[in-house]
Amino acid sequence: MDMRKYAAEAIGTFWLTFAGCGSAVIAAGFPQVGIGLLGVSLAFGLSVVTMAYAIGHVSGCHLNPAVTVGLAAGGRFPAGQILPYVIAQVCGAIIAAELLYVIASGAPGFDVTKGFASNGYDAHSPGQYGLLACFLTEVVMTMMFLFIIMGATHGRAPAGFAPLAIGLALVMIHLVSIPVTNTSVNPARSTGPALFVGGWALSQLWLFWVAPLIGGVLGGVIYRWLSEEPGGVVAGVKTA
């Protein structure tokens, strides 16, 4: 058991959740200099790019249970390592949400029940989108995210550019789906804030586990079928 991989996943998911959700909670609507939807989308994408270069050679930089499960479905990751990776990712996201709560609550008028970057559907969707629309959005977005990850890390893909392709894909995903679900495509990222919001966020959290996991499996399986070779790099080790 290599604890360094799990520690790397926890740290990486901490950074994704803290930087991404932090941009939404602290900076998105700040008077006069708020970063808005584009800024939040970039924050999530850049968090992945920076961590991919920092820990990609250690753990593969999944930072997301749906990515871990999708890579396993695509033949790029051992199934026996799924559970410890997911536990590490969720722990990292919860710690990030806790730190973000402490910081954000230092501002006058802070109200965690207003959302705290949580994901939701129906009345809790930013655009009031219904359950089916939100479910389909999360499945399709995660499916395409895994498809891009599988392709960018393939043995025949241009070397050294995978983090950029993956990070930019996450930016695009957020640009489209923030109005629909506030963008999950990552059960760990959804779990951290939901624990602090409680109530509706916890009752709707199931969707942001089920839909991304389905999408991750679909993306991994489709790319595995499409690709001529299963080879790629996962956790810093070439698999073919």
Looking at the predicted structure, is the pLDDT value of residue 134 above 80?
yes
Confidence of residue 193 (pLDDT cuts 50, 70, 90): very high
User: How many residues comprise the chain?
Assistant: 240
- For residue 239, being part of any structural domain is answered with no
- For residue 61, being part of any structural domain is answered with yes
Domain membership of residue 68 as a residue range: 3-106+115-232
- For residue 238, being part of any structural domain is answered with no
Q: What is the CATH number of the domain that holds 194?
A: 1.20.1080.10
Sign of CA dihedral 4, 5, 10, 11: positive
- For residue 40, being part of any structural domain is answered with yes
pLDDT for position 1: 64
CA distance to 15, 70, 101, 176, per residue, from 191 (Å): 15, 19, 14, 21
pLDDT for position 229: 59
pLDDT for position 160: 85
- For residue 86, being part of any structural domain is answered with yes
CA distance to 71, 157, 184, 186, per residue, from 189 (Å): 18, 28, 7, 5
Specify the number of domains making up the chain: 1
Confidence of residue 83 (pLDDT cuts 50, 70, 90): very high
- For residue 240, being part of any structural domain is answered with no
Mean pLDDT calculated for residue range 113-140: 95
Looking at the predicted structure, is the pLDDT value of residue 236 above 80?
no
Mean pLDDT calculated for residue range 49-55: 96
Looking at the predicted structure, is the pLDDT value of residue 118 above 60?
yes
- For residue 123, being part of any structural domain is answered with yes
Confidence of residue 235 (pLDDT cuts 50, 70, 90): very low
Torsion of CA 229, 140, 95, 5, to 10 degrees: 0
Give me the numbers of helices (H) and strands (E) for the chain, helices first please: 9, 2
DSSP annotation string for 73-135? HTTSS-GGGHHHHHHHHHHHHHHHHHHHHHHHTTSTT--GGG-TT----GGGSTT---HHHHH
Q: What is the pLDDT of residues 143-182, one digit of tens each?
A: 999 999 999 998 888 878 999 999 999 999 999 999 999 9
What is the identity of the amino acid at 208?
Answer: F
